Amino acid sequence: MCDTISGGVCAAEGFRAAGLHVGVKTHATWKKDVALIVSDVPCRAAALFTKNVVKAAPIRVTMGHLAGGQVRGIIANSGNANACAPQGVENAEKMCAAAAKEIGCAPEEVLVASTGVIGQTLNVKVIEEGMPELYGLLEHSDAASDAAAHAIMTTDTVKKEAAAEAVISGRTVHIGGIAKGSGMIHPNMGTMLCFLTTDCAISQELLREALTEAARTTFNRISVDGDTSTNDTCCILANGLAGNPEITEKNDAYIDFVLKLHEVCWHLARAMAKDGEGAKHLITCTVRGAKSEEQAEHISKSVISSTLTKAAIFGCDANWGRVLCAMGYSGEEFNPEEVNVTFASDAGEILVCENGKGLAFDEELARKILSEDEVDIDITMKEGDEMCTCWGCDITYDYIKINGDYRT
């Protein structure tokens, strides 16, 4: 779906990035742990945050800074969530101040984010001391986006970045981003950090609406383990350097921008679901024939969030009964006797349930289909004409190992 270009968070004009190990991660000195993203000119900004009542200090600081209406950059660290931690807000503000000093702007023009272990005091001193070197590494390049993407990783096994371009009002506009997310991921801003940049000229109000709409059908439709983090942050900076006429109304230019933003977010969301902690399979669940998009979404989310369904996919077991069961406790009313379930992958597809009843199917073929690293669960109902797709992953023994000693 996403015809990406290179550049990641640096794909848009006027954005530079860097990543560096400064010492937040004391157990892995070879891993970058602080990322910096800077625009050459002031930006408009919008952000979405976790729905968890317990919100990390960086979120509270960023919320306040967004009220200023002008942003120059983002500073983020991995290895420590700065959540429920002593001096949390103070340390988040110190990170902004250190970045602002190098950028040459007010601390309130810097957004801040953290990810990692909850409840431990952030060693902000190493971030402050490392800031001059980090700033000196800023570049507008693929390598710079790569460094920043790696610097925000925790249990992620691969970096997540994407970028795309579109012609809007006769000018080429770029949108790019990096993200992290592997565990504590659940629908509605599932555990993640995501930093998006664009050189599109767009009003503050419409930038936020575009981000909200793109997240609704991408980041809000992924799940790994049913946990929602204290630190989830998704923000977008727009510096207007593409030179397009500013988008101030929901016209064709706005629609083009939202569609391209959705593509980038779609790519990043799937990458997070696929890289779920310990995961071996990406699960894509599509519900068709629902009476509303909301009904389809609730049912699809219920299936990808089902521990038993995840376990079945891990074991390559075509146990469609677990799918139907998860549909049944989704909170949505439907007729189970008009439901078909198909498993599919690059190895083929197989109908395993028709009209709510089991079929005699080729178990060997089913296992072959479910052995692929990307598996589709296609559900057809006879309630209406709406549909929805959500993404998740299987649950494996490694998930327990990773989270059993996360703090150590």
pLDDT at 328: 97
pLDDT digits (tens, 9 = 90+) for 209-267: 999 999 999 998 887 655 566 788 999 999 999 999 999 999 999 999 999 999 999 99
Give me Rg for the CA atoms of the chain: 22
pLDDT digits (tens, 9 = 90+) for 316-340: 999 999 999 999 999 999 999 999 9
pLDDT at 66: 97
pLDDT at 273: 84
Q: What angle is formed at CA 73 by the lines to CA 71 and CA 76, rounded to 5 degrees? A: 130
The closest alpha carbon to 217, from 154, 293, 288, belongs to 293
Question: Residue type for 384, please?
Answer: G
Round the average pLDDT of the chain to a whole number and report it.
92
Q: Domains plus CATH for the chain?
A: 8-274 (3.60.70.12), 282-404 (3.10.20.340)
Tell me the whole-structure pTM to 2 decimals: 0.90
Q: Rounded to 5 degrees, what are φ and ψ at 177?
A: -170, 165
Higher-pLDDT residue of 396, 345: 345
pLDDT at 227: 54
Q: Rounded to 5 degrees, what are φ and ψ at 193?
A: -120, 135
pLDDT at 382: 95
pLDDT at 407: 46
- The yes-or-no verdict on residue 64 having pLDDT over 90 is yes
pLDDT at 158: 87
If pLDDT is split at 50, 70 and 90, which confidence band does 36 have?
very high
If pLDDT is split at 50, 70 and 90, which confidence band does 4 have?
confident
Question: Residue type for 271, please?
Answer: A
For 403, counting Cβ atoms within 10 Å of its Cβ (0-12 exposed, 13-18 middle, 19+ buried), the class is middle
Question: Residue type for 86, please?
Answer: P
If pLDDT is split at 50, 70 and 90, which confidence band does 188 have?
low
Q: How far apart are CA 13 and CA 171, in angstroms?
A: 12
Higher-pLDDT residue of 407, 383: 383
pLDDT digits (tens, 9 = 90+) for 102-117: 999 999 999 999 999 8
Q: b/e per residue, 204-242, with b = 16+ CB within 10 A?
A: eebbbbbbeebbebbbbbbbbbbebbbbbbbbbbbbbbb
pLDDT at 404: 60
Rounded to an integer, the average pLDDT of 359-370 is 97
Cα dist from 68 to 18, 42, 50, 58, 278, whole Å: 25, 12, 21, 16, 41
Rounded to an integer, the average pLDDT of 46-66 is 93
* Active site residues per annotation: 191
